[in-house]
A and B are shown apart, each in its own frame.
Chain A
């Protein structure tokens, strides 16, 4: 699906924070790319650096806390890392927009949702307030909010979480962005609403054709929406490939662990049966283990896993993995009987 020149290409991104004089390597050499019209999912446990990666692309990190320490973020071939703040402002909300995990707190409580959508339109498309509000109404209609002409005058607190997330999507798409970054957009919603929002995003992508960087810790959601997956662990990409390959033949023990923790109907899991959870916790980025960061939690670790950080090796044309033992291990998922 990826076209020859990717829309977004991240090369060896390093984003560091300083905390009490120590360097926190939140993102430590991540590379991936997203083609036009493609949906890439970034998956990993809490603290693996997913949000920091997306905020790095938007250049929205708090400069007092840290920043991009190295690497390139090529958007349509131009490096965002070297762009000025004014240039970034023209890109944010216009070429690249973002939606967040918390629909309850992501909208400003003192402005109507119409005003908040219209603001982005006014800024980027230089529309007059009235025309911008008309555009906001159209956007609300597009994301499936009933009575949009009335709803633009609602305040966020008058809406449910699912409705607010629709408003966020309407706002993000109001200027026809080329890339939508969605940082766990469904995590805070209950399952039915979650499915509706995923549906909506799929439909809008088909209509508008933007690329999506979809961040989640839930591999179950990935199959619903993504073309390709990047698995992150402790600030590094540890496996990358098309969704089918990752689901059928995960190569990295960490990915296999994540796969096992996804509830699946075809595995016949009952309510009583506890889901598998990877033992141990993600290491602190202040104190990363030597070599492969996952080795302390890995059932297949060997001395050579500790010796050096394994390189990201190609498994096939599009599938890459960061594990020295990938050739010997087989985590292929049994096909449902």
Chain B
């Protein structure tokens, strides 16, 4: 087990290195160059000094190694845009993103998994057909447009909920935060929910056909217990795998959702950093998001082994 975790950690580090190299190469080849050199008020001498200072005159691989060396010492550099340490920007944006994606995942799981079970148990009934249609619809909703519709309906027309941000200025209560969380969570969780319903349904249909479910019934186990303790307990194993695969999508979806709802998270930070060609911030975000995704996948893998006694990692 420990050996497995160590091996997976090694693989994860390699993966993260590849991702950062790729990102670094990509931004270095973007036309225009770093925004910091484009200030029209700077004299050519100043520009040249800055170029040397930041090392932009060196070969790209040297710049990367320089960045990596700093990162290993815990230094993510300074943002070109706002002139604050990247680590500070991320420290304030990351909790917001984790809150939004975590809440979206939780809400999706709590609502979608029982619905998927229901659709499987009552398969081909009107309930099942309605759920299938609705989740097909939910899957094909573009988050951007859908988020705008939510804002127009619930914030502009009905005025029930705030249109964006995390807090109403001056009100830093949990209640106020939750109020702001509702619309972005709905926007972000809908497509995940749709996918989870469909996946849980098909996993459950497969398990309900299994011989051991018949064995449970033949023992005299009550049907609700057959469905939860016997069928869902095994159907959960593939569902957990899907949850793991949804995490990267969730993070990607968060970028769009955060922009639509002015949610002060990593996604919004990333979008503005990309527009500003703010290299250090882009690299910092890439690194942190990769770590989050890789770590959550590792957790899901370990959970998988915990859920399925047939799987043993060694």
Contact = CB atoms under 8 A, between A and B. Distances in A.
Contacts of B214: 60, 100, 106
Interface in A187-217: none
Identify whether the interface residues of B are mostly helix, strand, loop, or mixed. Answer: helix
Nearest to A112: B309
B36 interface: no
Interface string A118-153: 011001100000000000000000000000000000
A213 to B, nearest CB: 13
Contacts of A68: none
A155 B310 CA distance: 8
B88 interface: no
A8 to B, nearest CB: 16
A109 B308 contact: yes
A319 to B, nearest CB: 32
Nearest to B309: A155
A98 B218 contact: yes
Contacts of B124: 64
A92 B217 CA distance: 8
B310 A60 contact: no
Interface in B197-238: 210-212, 214-223, 230, 233-234, 237
Interface in A91-131: 91-94, 97-98, 100, 102, 105-111, 119-120, 123-124
Contacts of B220: 89-94, 120, 123-124
Given A110-B234, A120-B220, A102 B309 contact: no
A109 B219 contact: no
Interface residues of A, number: 29
A58 interface: yes
B156 interface: no
B307 interface: yes
A75 to B, nearest CB: 14
A157 B312 CA distance: 12
B211 A100 contact: yes
Given A60-B218, A97-B219, A106 B211 contact: yes
Interface string A255-295: 00000000000000000000000000000000000000000
A108 B216 contact: yes
Given A64-B124, A100-B214, A105-B211, A110 B219 contact: no
A155 B312 CA distance: 13
Nearest to B308: A110
A109 B221 contact: no
Contacts of A155: 309-310
A93 B223 CA distance: 14
Nearest to B213: A108
Contacts of A73: none
A171 interface: yes
B310 A168 contact: no
Interface residues of B, number: 23
Contacts of A93: 218-221
B15 to A, nearest CB: 31
A123 B220 CA distance: 7
B219 A92 contact: yes
Contacts of A109: 212, 234, 308-310
Nearest to B216: A108
B218 A92 contact: yes
Nearest to A94: B220
Nearest to B125: A64
A85 B215 CA distance: 16
A120 B225 CA distance: 12
Nearest to B212: A108
A178 to B, nearest CB: 14
A64 to B, nearest CB: 7
A230 B109 CA distance: 52
A73 to B, nearest CB: 16
A108 B234 contact: yes
A234 B310 CA distance: 40
A123 B230 contact: no
A163 to B, nearest CB: 16
A88 B171 CA distance: 60
Contacts of B210: 105
Interface string B164-176: 0000000000000
Contacts of B237: 110
Contacts of A102: 211
Contacts of A94: 220
B126 to A, nearest CB: 14
A102 B222 CA distance: 23
A123 B310 CA distance: 27
Contacts of A124: 220
A105 B212 contact: yes
Nearest to B217: A60
Contacts of A107: 212, 215
Contacts of A123: 219-221
Given A119-B221, A157-B309, 5 more contacts: A60-B217, A105-B210, A105-B211, A110-B308, A124-B220
28 contacts: A60-B218, A89-B221, A92-B217, A92-B219, A93-B218, A93-B221, A94-B220, A100-B215, A106-B211, A106-B215, A107-B215, A108-B215, A108-B216, A108-B234, A109-B234, A109-B309, A109-B310, A110-B233, A110-B234, A110-B308, A110-B309, A119-B216, A119-B221, A120-B220, A155-B309, A157-B309, A157-B310, A171-B215
Interface of B: 123-124, 210-212, 214-223, 230, 233-234, 237, 307-310
Interface of A: 58, 60, 64, 85, 89-94, 97-98, 100, 102, 105-111, 119-120, 123-124, 155, 157, 168, 171
